Structure 1
Amino acid sequence: MAPSQPMIAQPWTVVGEGAIGLLAAAHLHQAGYPVQLHRRSAGSFAFTLRSMDAVVSLSLPNTVHSPYCFILLPVKAYAVAEAVQQLQPLLAAKAQLVLSHNGMGTVEQVLPLLQPEQGLWFLSTSHGAYKPDRSTVLHSGLGQSVLGALNKAALLQQHNVEAAMQAALGPLQLQTDIWPSLWQKLAVNAVINPLTALHQCKNGELASSNYSAAIKLLIEEFVQVATLSGQNFSVGALHHRVNQVIEQTADNYSSMQQDFAKGRPSELDYITGFLLRQAAQHQLQLPAHQAIYQLLSQKSPR
């Protein structure tokens, strides 16, 4: 249950103006938290949040208070390290940073950038949101979130961070070890995102028998590298989960499909690329993932 009043005096700073970030910012504001945006443009940012049961118009200030004590970074994986580097001069000595994105590989980039008393968290969410235009956010799918601390400094602020993220993107589950959840989400993303980007289709089209063999191969290879990386998954359970997500999001376009359709950089290097780097550490070949990575790399605006 979200608190009616914030448990902290300091505001939350949401980085960027992406759909999930603005959704979280709106929910924090509605729960009574002071919220500001950190973005390139000066001035306040006005937008409308449309959900299944309400339409809310908000105007949030842009970087009014610093140093930043509590920060949500719902930016693309490839932009995380640069964003944290730019934020460093603005961070409080005991700042708490919450990463939230698809893919893996950013935690290793960010931890060395933080001071000893600065906490790092990861929030993985299944809430769906997108922006049909710059100033409108559609909450397209109700979801839930998991949150995990990634260093000891984070545990000192657990109550404050957990309460705020419950308000922002709940219902929330706090996990002492978030890595299995991140690997499971990676399994789904490593199948659905590259295939829909390659074939420029909605998620639901992957339910066709035309894709069965490719999906099976991608899952089998994923389980091999996950096992060598200390994660325990079965092919059958992951296949069930992937099919479940395909069915539940049948009318959606994946974020990677949208990135390729619009000529934007994608998180390919933090999804398929991450898997290939993990496999290389164990002298393991992933021919199906390697093939789709090469095909998409040729199309990437990178």
Structure 2
Amino acid sequence: MQYYDLCIVGGGSIGGIIAYYSFRGGITSIPVYYRSIESIEAIMKNGGLTIKYGDKEYLLPIIPVHHSKPIGKCRFVINTVKAYHVKDTINLMHKITDEDSLILMLQNGFGSLELVEEKMLNRYVAGGVVFIGAERINRYYILHHGGRTIIAGRRKGFTAKLLELMNILNRGGCDFRVTSNIDLYRWIKLGVNAVINPLTAITRSKNKIVLTQYGRILAEKIIDELIIAAEKYGFKLDKKKLLTTIFRGAKNTSENYSSMAQDIMNNKPTEIDYINGFIAKHVGEKSVNEVITLIVHLIEESYMKNH
């Protein structure tokens, strides 16, 4: 049985950027699991995954693998698939890990980490939030737009394995941090996603749309409800600080299309139910987040009916 130091489940924009940090951090054999055979073929033809980071292009000699044919065990598994695909990756993660492996879940919103914690009780499972702007231009080319921070932690006890992973990714240029209170950061990131993702998706705009007059007004209304939802879980969020974080993030990744905007423009389903939909469940009907969730679903439905 082949053993790998690090594997990535999901070769989208964030998965590709993490492969870049991992390779620069000294991991030379990186299996990246894909759902699409076409993606694997395109990467093999290209000779690897091309990452544009800053003004330079890097060709990463990753090992593209189809999810149905796992090739070995992994010490670290970083799962970057969309929240609605997480359930489909659980069987794969069982196959490519053992009881000493660490799984890091990097999905937007709430629900994915909880599901994997429940289904993989005999594994080290951690959650993380990503403050990185990136865009998958095609099947083998990923463009980094800004940001390099990942904050990670376990909800069920600390493990030094996270520090090992931190050392690898930090060597590669990532600002990887370990926290003892990952749920607090998940709420903060939920605020960032709940504003930037749907506003850019609905308008099909870059992140800088959030910094406009009406973007700021909507951001405040969304965050007012997020704070109410967070309080039900025992978290008291500072509205002013949270909005500052959101607007700073939008400015730092101003030329980036959010993951949800990319989904809409590529006629793919979004993670809206895990983000604004999650907030709406705790605030009630007729909330701003409920309306935003319905609008995004309307856009998704319009594509499905026309194709």
TM-score with structure 1 length normalisation? 0.85
Go from structure 1 to structure 2 and tell me whether the alpha carbon gap of 1:295 and 1:212 turns closer, same or farther (over 3 Å shift): same
Percent identical:
23
Q: Which residue of 2 aligns with 1:136?
A: 141
Q: How does 1:199-214 map to 2 (within 5 A)?
A: 199-214=203-218
1:221 Cα shift?
A: 1.2
1:137 Cα shift?
A: 1.8
Q: How does 1:39-78 map to 2 (within 5 A)?
A: 39-40=34-35, 41=37, 45=44, 46-62=48-64, 65-78=71-84
Contact kept, 8 Å, 1:85 with 1:113, in 2: the verdict is no
Is residue 266 of structure 1 aligned with residue 260 of structure 2?
A: no
Is residue 12 of structure 1 aligned with residue 6 of structure 2?
A: yes
Aligned partner of residue 148 in structure 2, secondary structure: coil
Q: Which residue of 1 aligns with 2:22?
A: 28
RMSD (Å), alpha carbons: 2.4
Q: Which residue of 2 aligns with 1:38?
A: 33
Amino acid across the alignment from 2:196: I
Is residue 105 of structure 1 aligned with residue 111 of structure 2?
A: yes
Is residue 275 of structure 1 aligned with residue 289 of structure 2?
A: no
Go from structure 1 to structure 2 and tell me whether the alpha carbon gap of 1:32 and 1:237 turns closer, same or farther (over 3 Å shift): closer
Aligned partner of residue 20 in structure 1, secondary structure: helix
Q: Which residue of 2 aligns with 1:194?
A: 198
1:108 Cα shift?
A: 1.5
Task: State the aligned residue count.
Answer: 288
Contact kept, 8 Å, 2:52 with 2:143, in 1: the verdict is yes
Uncovered stretches (5+) of structure 1, i.e. residues with no partner:
1-8
Contact kept, 8 Å, 1:145 with 1:169, in 2: the verdict is no
1:209 Cα shift?
A: 2.1
Aligned partner of residue 251 in structure 1, secondary structure: coil
Aligned partner of residue 100 in structure 2, secondary structure: strand
Query: CA deviation digits over 1:10-65, x for unaligned, max 9?
Result: 42111122122122113222322232222343677422222115322122224575
Contact kept, 8 Å, 1:121 with 1:150, in 2: the verdict is yes
Aligned partner of residue 288 in structure 2, secondary structure: helix
Q: Which residue of 1 aligns with 2:175?
A: 171
Go from structure 1 to structure 2 and tell me whether the alpha carbon gap of 1:99 and 1:176 turns closer, same or farther (over 3 Å shift): same
Q: In the aligned structure 1, how far is the partner of 2:4 from the partner of 2:75? A: 7
Q: In the aligned structure 2, how far is the partner of 1:241 from the partner of 1:157? A: 29
Alignment partner of 1:89 out of 89, 92, 95: 95
1:266 Cα shift?
A: 0.7
1:264 Cα shift?
A: 0.3
Q: In the aligned structure 1, how far is the partner of 2:176 from the partner of 2:51? A: 21
